[in-house]
């Protein structure tokens, strides 16, 4: 029982650390988006509406993070899809350099997945602990089925 309880605490800690890391990543992306759109002649200035959409969706994902962490996973995939479709100049040889500029979104996607997995595994560990405490173990020898 102590092992299950300890793992539930570890998963909850990982989940919380991922929230703070996602928050800091969102702030870093907001700063980068703001700095890159100062000049209307920059290569990413035309992407300002997309950046605003991504930042708003990331903020919404963080609002729902503790109740529905899968929203942050969906927002992470949405942001990667939008950036791959709109921001990367696939027809030019500079697409690799441009792709590296959006590593913030890849970090958001990875952290969202780690947080979601920690949430699921933490809830599963808590459920196993509750089942063990209440005596509702999945493979108990006190079954009520008749043996022939």
Asked if the structure places residue 10 within a domain, the reply is: yes
Asked if the structure places residue 141 within a domain, the reply is: no
pTM here? 0.75
Asked if the structure places residue 148 within a domain, the reply is: no
Write the DSSP string, 9-67.
Answer: HHHHHHHHHHHHHHHHHHHHHHHHHHHHTSSTTSTTGGGHHHHHHHHHHHHHHHHTTTT
Query: Around Cβ 26, how many Cβ atoms within 10 Å?
Result: 18
Asked if the structure places residue 75 within a domain, the reply is: yes
Number of domains in the chain: 1
CA distance 34 to 101: 14
Q: pLDDT of 102-126, one tens digit each?
A: 787 888 899 999 999 999 998 888 8
Q: pLDDT of 61-81, one tens digit each?
A: 999 999 999 999 999 999 889
Q: Which residues constitute the domain of residue 73?
A: 2-37+48-134
């Amino acid at each position: 029982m102590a092992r299950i309880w300890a793992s539930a605490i570890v998963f909850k800690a990982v989940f919380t650390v991922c929230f703070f890391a996602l928050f800091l990543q969102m702030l870093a992306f907001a700063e980068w988006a703001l700095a890159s759109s100062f000049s209307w002649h920059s290569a990413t200035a035309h992407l300002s509406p997309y950046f605003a959409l991504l930042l708003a969706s990331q903020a919404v994902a963080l609002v729902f993070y503790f109740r529905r962490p899968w929203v942050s996973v969906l927002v992470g995939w949405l942001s990667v899809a939008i950036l791959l479709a709109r921001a990367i100049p696939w027809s030019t040889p500079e697409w690799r350099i441009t792709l590296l500029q959006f590593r913030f979104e890849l970090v958001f996607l990875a952290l969202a997945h780690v947080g979601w997995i920690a949430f699921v595994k933490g809830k599963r560990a808590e459920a196993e602990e509750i089942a063990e405490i209440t005596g509702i173990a999945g493979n108990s020898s006190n079954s009520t089925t008749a043996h022939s």
